[in-house]
């Protein structure tokens, strides 16, 4: 019994001393690969720069800069030596969530390596990171371990990451903050940093240096590391890294002759959302034999990377129900990206129930021309196009309709509904004061027909738009192989409606097909048996650069009102609030990362006060030296032109409705309605004009004069602002007054009189802003763009808009809900928007009519 006890004690002592010695060696080590709480070896590891799910292990702060979800399967193999001490496999997942946050989850298994002093163990790791601004993030990762010396222990890593423009990135992480212990010995914390540099400002070449240092270890034992990434060609990247470290369990300095050296190398292949990375590690110890091991990664990413091989396809772009200008910005960017996409052989536009005005249709026509210029064939599938839809479809290489459809080529019309007769019957009267004979926005409420100046101005616009549409259709169909002139198009329009057969015989279309037949038809057109038609990939694109100077697109969409931007109920559209827009513009002025601003105006005007406030914010932005490029949509008139005038360069499409420089004010008087309802009102007041805005009496002569004086003052501010903004174009205050007085101009006519600088849509304005602001482009030929003001969530917009188009979550035209109001009803809602929102008694700078060309 005594001999057995002595033998057992001796053996236990030997084992304990051996384990303690191993633990002590680990405690003294600064080498990251020898940490007993880590997962498997990760090839191509980075701690600063681009982020993926392995950041959960390498630097949880970097996880906060994830552009999209990431899934990584990591594995490493080697012999029993210390070539790759952490042999094993791991699965890592991380994804951004709301509020700039990211979360991550990982499960890994590491096999034992006796030569390296590592026991086999399993780790479960959870992480959270918070992005602060565009380029800084903090993160933490908690882990629980099963097996090995530290079985049953928990640990925590903390990290930070930030990028300094396009060229420099930095990361730092401290591992094992709580210092898990084994056999009464606490594992020291490990501090690791990395500085990455991109000399060209892109991922073409990335160089990095870093170091690791264990707490309590001598600084002469810091472990330095260097790495290199080189983008050889699209989708093929090579990397290499090197690290030198003192042998564990010794007092040797890092750069001593007997230091250990590890060199890694490998390559990565990308196929858009999936890819693989394979690498080798050569280990050359200071003492003893070396060796080699291998590691690999398979990954899936929500971000779209440039691919080694891009399958050819036809991109399908749906324009159904598209109306909201925020969605239109998304569509413009998508089409610009398709023009630069090597895998796109053609673009198929599905055109149905399109609510865009003629100006934005011309913007899309320009983008179709851009696609053709980049070698993409363009096709239009318009089941039964209206006049506007056909104007858009005709810009493509081929137009096809449905067998049961046809073409409605009936010309352009515009209706104005007059309410005065009905209001007289119910005893409602409107007092109106205005500057300018052409300022007829409230004429439907005080007249039974249009005034002669307003009618003449409207006909001038209709003539200009109609002539342009006719000429464009003739040129388009001639280019498509159907010789046609403007006179013939006018005859076709006067004939009106066409069956599919009649439309093809007339040269308006190129055939009739069912949607299920499109792949075969387009394949033949492209010289193939068939071709895949699929929706564009809307995932974020890996631009190949870190965030630097960017472009802000500030949206002025809808009626201009005091207060915040919002959506009207019953699908009445949006309103542009001065508070929201001033906040956005002032943010651009103070944001060093914003190099230029595109002010996108798609508004018929609104509150004169709000328009002046916004115009002054535009002037403040320009005072910072940042260029402001104006892009006009379907409308940029009256108050919409007021805020556009201070811009550096003004772009408009030929059919944009602009001008309407003028102001009016009105008050509703319901005193004669009250007796019919059995209602009476008694007013007590102090001051002659205390009830000046009361709806229960008309204005007096003195009040009309007082109001007119106020209107003239606002009009003076309006034309002064325009003259100051257009001074370099030779427009004086007197000349602006001549062009003002409520006159409305198309974009083409406005350019001829100096109110507009250049013809072009949002895409052209973006190009000019990029040039003036020296903003870099990504691999997709797009600048980094932020759209302001921030939009509420898709669900909120859907609820506010009562199933309107704006609730489609940015998927432009993808399955939009049907309109709840007719165009005429929508026009009335938009005209009365200030009144509906409680600001209808203010002074208005707005179009003289809701120009809805059908």
Distances in whole angstroms, Cα of residue 220 to Cα of each of 211, 212, 213, 214, 255 = 12, 11, 9, 11, 9
Residues 204 and 231 in one domain: yes
What CATH number is attached to the domain comprising 598? 3.90.226.10
Residues 566 and 462 in one domain: no
Cis peptide before 835 (omega within 30 of 0): no
Closest CA to 245 of 258, 229, 264: 258
Residues 558 and 470 in one domain: no
Closest CA to 696 of 429, 422, 420: 429
Domain contains 293 = yes
Q: In whole angstroms, what is the distance from residue 140 CA to residue 156 CA?
A: 7
pLDDT at 568: 66
Domain contains 400 = yes
Q: In whole angstroms, what is the distance from residue 360 CA to residue 139 CA?
A: 44
Signed CA dihedral, 513, 515, 517, 521: sign only: positive
Question: HSE on the CB side for 311, CA within 13 Å?
Answer: 11
Distances in whole angstroms, Cα of residue 570 to Cα of each of 822, 834, 839 = 11, 16, 19
Assigned token pair, 782 = 């797009």
Domain contains 9 = no
Q: In whole angstroms, what is the distance from residue 275 CA to residue 286 CA?
A: 36
Cα 45 to its chain centre, rounded Å, is: 30
Give the largest Cα separation in the chain, rounded.
124
Residues 529 and 562 in one domain: no
Domain contains 539 = no
What CATH number is attached to the domain comprising 246? 2.40.160.60
Residues 50 and 153 in one domain: yes
Q: How many domains does the chain have?
A: 3
Domain contains 337 = yes
pLDDT at 362: 97
Enclosing domain of residue 114: 27-301
pLDDT at 785: 93
Q: In whole angstroms, what is the distance from residue 513 CA to residue 500 CA?
A: 10
Residue 36: strand, helix, or coil: coil
Q: In whole angstroms, what is the distance from residue 232 CA to residue 206 CA?
A: 12
Residues 447 and 554 in one domain: no
Signed CA dihedral, 357, 359, 365, 367: sign only: negative
Which positions ≥6 away from 567 have C-beta within 8 Å?
Answer: 573, 574, 575, 797, 800, 801, 804, 806
Signed CA dihedral, 498, 500, 501, 505: sign only: positive
Radius of gyration, alpha carbons of the chain: 34
Q: In whole angstroms, what is the distance from residue 78 CA to residue 222 CA?
A: 26
Q: In whole angstroms, what is the distance from residue 473 CA to residue 479 CA?
A: 10
Contact 571, 618 (CB under 8 A): no
pLDDT at 371: 96
Residues 449 and 574 in one domain: no
pLDDT per residue as tens digits for the range 768-824: 999 999 999 887 788 999 999 987 654 444 444 443 333 333 334 443 334 445 555
β-strand pairing of 190-197 with 168-175: antiparallel
Residues 271 and 373 in one domain: no
Other beta carbons within 10 angstroms of residue 843's beta carbon come to 21
3-state DSSP percent of the chain in helix, strand and coil, to 5: 30, 30, 40
Residues 627 and 586 in one domain: yes
The domain boundary residue, chosen from 483, 499, 534: 534
Domain contains 187 = yes
pLDDT at 609: 92
Domain contains 7 = no
Residues 285 and 329 in one domain: no
Q: DSSP for 668-716? A: EE-TTTHHHHT-------SSTTTTTT-TTSPPPHHHHHHHHHHHHHHHH
Residues 581 and 451 in one domain: no
The domain boundary residue, chosen from 477, 501, 534: 534
Domain contains 12 = no
The domain boundary residue, chosen from 270, 301, 332: 301
Residue 546: strand, helix, or coil: coil
pLDDT < 50: residue spans in the chain: 1-28, 794-820, 836, 838-841
Phi, psi of 664 (to 5 degrees): -145, 160
pTM value is 0.85
Helix axes 452-479, 486-495, angle to 10 degrees: 110
Residues 724 and 661 in one domain: yes
Residue matched to tokens 């398709």: 338
pLDDT at 239: 95
Q: In whole angstroms, what is the distance from residue 275 CA to residue 235 CA?
A: 9
């Amino acid at each position: 019994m005594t001999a057995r006890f002595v033998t057992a004690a001796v053996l236990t002592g030997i084992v304990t001393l051996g384990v303690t010695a191993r633990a002590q060696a680990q405690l003294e080590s600064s080498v990251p690969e020898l940490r007993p709480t880590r997962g498997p070896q990760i090839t191509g590891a980075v701690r600063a720069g681009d982020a993926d799910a392995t950041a959960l292990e390498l630097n949880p702060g970097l996880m906060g800069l994830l552009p999209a979800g990431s899934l990584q399967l990591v594995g490493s193999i080697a012999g029993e030596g210390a070539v790759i001490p952490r042999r094993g496999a791991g699965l890592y997942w991380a994804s951004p969530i709301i509020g700039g946050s990211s979360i991550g989850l990982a499960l890994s298994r590491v096999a034992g390596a006796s030569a390296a002093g590592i026991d086999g163990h399993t780790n479960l790791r959870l992480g959270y990171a918070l992005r602060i601004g565009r380029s800084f993030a903090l993160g933490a990762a908690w882990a629980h371990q099963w097996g090995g010396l530290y079985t049953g222990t928990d640990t925590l890593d903390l990290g930070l990451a930030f990028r300094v423009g396009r060229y420099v990135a930095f990361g730092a992480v401290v591992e094992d903050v709580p210092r898990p212990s084994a056999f009464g010995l606490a594992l020291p914390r490990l501090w690791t940093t990395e500085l990455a540099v991109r000399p060209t400002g892109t991922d073409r070449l990335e160089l990095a240096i870093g170091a690791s240092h264990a707490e309590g270890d001598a600084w002469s034992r810091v472990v330095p590391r260097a790495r290199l990434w080189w983008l050889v060609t699209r989708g093929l990247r090579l990397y290499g890294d090197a690290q030198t470290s003192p042998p564990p369990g010794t007092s040797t300095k890092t750069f001593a002759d007997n230091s250990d050296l590890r060199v890694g190398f490998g390559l990565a292949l990308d196929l858009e959302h999936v890819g693989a990375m394979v690498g080798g590690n050569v280990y050359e110890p200071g003492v003893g034999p070396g060796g080699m091991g291998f590691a690999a990664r398979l990954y899936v990413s929500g971000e779209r990377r440039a691919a080694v091989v891009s399958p050819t396809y036809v991109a399908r772009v749906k324009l159904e129900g598209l109306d909201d200008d925020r969605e239109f910005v998304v569509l413009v960017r998508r089409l610009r990206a398709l023009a630069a996409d090597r895998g796109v052989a053609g673009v198929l536009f599905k055109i149905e129930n399109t609510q865009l005005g003629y100006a934005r249709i011309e913007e899309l026509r320009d983008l179709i021309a851009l696609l053709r210029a980049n070698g993409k064939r363009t096709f239009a599938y318009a089941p039964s196009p209206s006049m506007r839809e056909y104007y858009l479809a005709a810009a493509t290489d081929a137009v096809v309709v449905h067998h049961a459809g046809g073409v409605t080529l009936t010309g352009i019309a515009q209706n104005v509904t007059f309410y005065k007769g009905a209001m007289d019957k119910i005893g409602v009267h409107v007092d109106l004061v205005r500057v300018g004979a052409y300022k007829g926005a409230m004429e439907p409420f005080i007249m039974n027909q249009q005034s002669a100046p307003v009618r003449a101005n409207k006909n001038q616009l209709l003539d200009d738009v109609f002539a342009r549409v006719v000429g464009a259709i003739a040129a388009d169909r001639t280019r498509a192989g159907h010789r046609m002139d403007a006179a013939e198009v006018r005859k076709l329009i006067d004939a009106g409606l066409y069956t599919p057969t009649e439309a093809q015989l007339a040269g308006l279309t190129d055939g009739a097909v069912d949607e299920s037949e499109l792949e075969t038809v387009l394949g033949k057109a492209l010289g193939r048996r068939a071709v895949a038609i699929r929706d564009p990939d809307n995932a974020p694109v890996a631009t190949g650069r870190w965030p630097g100077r960017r472009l802000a697109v500030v949206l002025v969409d809808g009626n201009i009102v005091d207060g915040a931007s919002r959506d009207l109920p019953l699908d009445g559209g949006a309103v542009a609030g001065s508070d929201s827009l001033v906040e956005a513009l002032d943010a651009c002025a103070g944001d060093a990362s914003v190099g230029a601003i595109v002010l996108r105006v798609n508004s018929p005007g609104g509150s004169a006060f709000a328009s002046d406030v916004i115009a002054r914010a535009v002037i403040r932005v320009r005072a910072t030296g940042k260029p402001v490029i104006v892009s006009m949509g379907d409308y940029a008139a009256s108050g919409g032109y007021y805020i556009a005038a201070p811009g550096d360069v003004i772009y408009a499409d030929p059919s944009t409705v602009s001008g309407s420089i003028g102001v009016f004010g009105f008050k509703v008087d319901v005193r004669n309605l009250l007796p019919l309802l059995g209602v009476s009102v008694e007013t007590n007041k102090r001051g002659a004009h205390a009830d000046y805005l009361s709806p229960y009496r008309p204005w007096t002569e003195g009040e009309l004069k007082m109001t007119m004086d106020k209107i003239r003052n606002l009009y003076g501010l309006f034309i002064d602002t325009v003259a100051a903004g257009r001074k370099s174009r030779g427009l004086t205050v007197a000349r602006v007054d001549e062009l003002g007085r409520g006159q409305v101009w198309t974009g083409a006519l406005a350019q001829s009189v100096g109110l507009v600088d250049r013809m072009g849509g949002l895409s052209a304005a973006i190009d000019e802003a990029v040039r003036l602001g020296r903003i870099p482009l990504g691999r997709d030929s797009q600048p980094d763009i932020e759209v302001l003001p921030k939009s509420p969530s898709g669900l909120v917009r859907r609820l506010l808009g009562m199933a309107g188009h704006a609730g489609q979550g940015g998927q432009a035209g993808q399955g939009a809900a049907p309109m709840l109001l007719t165009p005429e009803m929508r026009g009335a809602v938009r005209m009365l928007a200030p009144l509906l929102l409680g600001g209808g008694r203010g002074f208005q700078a707005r179009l003289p009519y809701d120009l809805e060309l059908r």
